[in-house]
Amino acid sequence: MARNLLQAGHEVTVFNRDREKAKPLAASGARVADSPADAGRDAEVVMTMVANDGALEEVALGKHGFASELKPGGIHVSHSTISTALARKLTAEHGQRKQGYLSVPVFGRPEAAESKNLVVVAAGPIEHLERCRPLFDAIGKATFVMGADPVQANIAKLCGNFMIIGMIESIGEAYATIRKAGIDPELFLETVNSLFMSPFMGSYGKLIAREEFLPARFVLELGLKDVRLLLDAADELASPMPLASLVHDNLLSALAQGQGELDWSSMTQVLARNAGLKTKSS
């Protein structure tokens, strides 16, 4: 993402806890900061991409966080998949400092980030979104604006992830039955996908059929975290999501059975074992 920003002609300062990781970007013209605070100084926009709520709170509001250094009118663009609670807190904290806050999670794996093929999901005050649009254009293939409240982008991202794990649950259940009926799962997948015609379903379905869960496209433990965040957000909205509850329980079962580091689609092994099927790992 940083490389694509540089390529689009933006002036970029980078910070990574592991300074080594920042080096290649320095070679491409980025300034390397010593701390989040250092990165925020003199910036127009600070874009953050970290693992979870705790990490984001630290880099934004912690001792060496950038919020205290960012000038009034500066904008924090948060790309991480975080809780709605934190999005609200950041909106308030930045607001008190006359700074802007946008939630801008993205869909897409590292390859998509490299090839500028991310799907950008944004929400926040319209004037801030407009100012940042050139940045979104520089990193993704399309930007979708969910609304004026940053939290809306977080919820849309969590619901998008839910659509994926929902598809995985469907595939997993169908495969268990299909396998017990003596049918080849990949053949079934090809059949069904001649209806859906979704390359995304095709590639996931193939990995599940072959039980290829390493290297993980999306680590199960993180996927479970996202489903938790969704259930929390849905709870707050008083919106029951029984399928989300179901996949939560199945991901939890996978975790309890030692699959935390595998791809989250390995949740399908829980379904297979519950049908009395052997799995590669069991």
From candidates 101, 162, 213, 264, binder to a copy of itself by CB under 8 A: 162
Is 21 catalytic? The answer is: no
Min dist CB 141 to a copy of itself, Å, is 8
Indicate which single residue of 17, 274, 278, 280 sits in contact with a copy of itself (rule: CB under 8 A).
274
Contact between 237 and a copy of itself per CB under 8 A: yes
User: What 3-state DSSP class applies to 258?
Assistant: coil
Among 19, 180, 210, 280, binds a copy of itself (CB under 8 A): 180
Task: Give the residue, chosen from 171, 208, 220, 229, that forms a contact with a copy of itself under the rule CB under 8 A.
Answer: 171
For the four alpha carbons of 45, 51, 54 and 59, in that order, the dihedral sign comes to negative
Report the distance separating Cα 139 and Cα 188, nearest Å: 36
Among 62-70, 95-103, 125-133, 199-207, the segment contacting a copy of itself (CB under 8 A): 199-207
Q: Which residues pair with 144 in a beta bridge?
A: 121
Q: Which of residues 109-128 bind a copy of itself (CB under 8 A)?
A: 119, 121
* Cα 192 from Cα 206, distance rounded (Å): 12
Nearest Cα to 135, choosing from 247, 6, 280, 38? 6
Q: Which helix (H) or strand (E) holds 234?
A: helix 220-236
Q: Which stretch binds a copy of itself (CB under 8 A): 31-39, 41-49, 94-102, 179-187?
A: 179-187
Given the complex with a copy of itself, which of 38 and 57 has the nearer CB atom?
57
242 binds a copy of itself (CB under 8 A): yes
Q: Which stretch binds a copy of itself (CB under 8 A): 34-42, 68-76, 96-104, 247-255?
A: 247-255
Residue in the block written with tokens 């689609």: 265
Minimum separation from the CB atom of position 255 to a copy of itself (A): 5
Instruction: Give the C-alpha separation, 134 to 136, whole Å.
Output: 5
The token pair that represents 209 in the structure block: 């059929």
How many other C-beta atoms lie within 10 A of the C-beta of residue 24?
Answer: 12
Catalytic residue list: 157
